[in-house]
């Protein structure tokens, strides 16, 4: 099981499909290491990130009212084996 703690694209570089490419590279690396279950949390208001994760095969498996220092709720996502 792998946990993605944080990932992001600088604001000036957004809209260039870098997030999906970056996540695909991460997923390829994890697959080579036989880490096929990947967990992450994302702010529920970050619809663009949620879209990227869903397109990459992640599934929403839960929600949290708060996560760490974030005031906003988060969505828990998992990429199953």
Question: What's the CATH code of the domain at 66?
Answer: 3.40.630.30
Contact 39, 78 (CB under 8 A): yes
pTM: 0.78
d(CA 2, CA 36): 8
H or E, element range at 61: strand 59-64
Number of domains in the chain: 1
Q: Grade residue 81 by pLDDT with cuts at 50, 70 and 90.
A: low
User: What does the CA dihedral 32, 36, 37, 43 come to, rounded to 10 degrees?
Assistant: 60
Which pLDDT tens digit goes with each residue over 43-73? 888 898 999 999 999 988 888 776 666 666 6
Which residues form the domain of 63?
A: 2-79
CA distance 27 to 68: 25
Q: Among 31-35, 62-66, 72-76, name the most confident range.
A: 31-35
Distance in angstroms (rounded) separating the CA atoms of residues 50 and 42: 7
What is the mean pLDDT of the segment spanning 11-33? 92
């Amino acid at each position: 099981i792998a946990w993605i703690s944080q990932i992001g694209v600088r604001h000036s570089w957004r809209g260039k499909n870098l997030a999906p490419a970056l996540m695909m590279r991460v997923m390829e690396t994890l697959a080579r290491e036989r880490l096929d279950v990947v967990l992450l949390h994302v702010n529920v208001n970050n619809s663009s990130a949620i879209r990227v994760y869903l397109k990459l095969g992640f599934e929403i498996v839960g929600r949290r009212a708060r996560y760490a220092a974030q005031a906003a709720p988060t969505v828990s996502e998992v990429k199953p084996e």
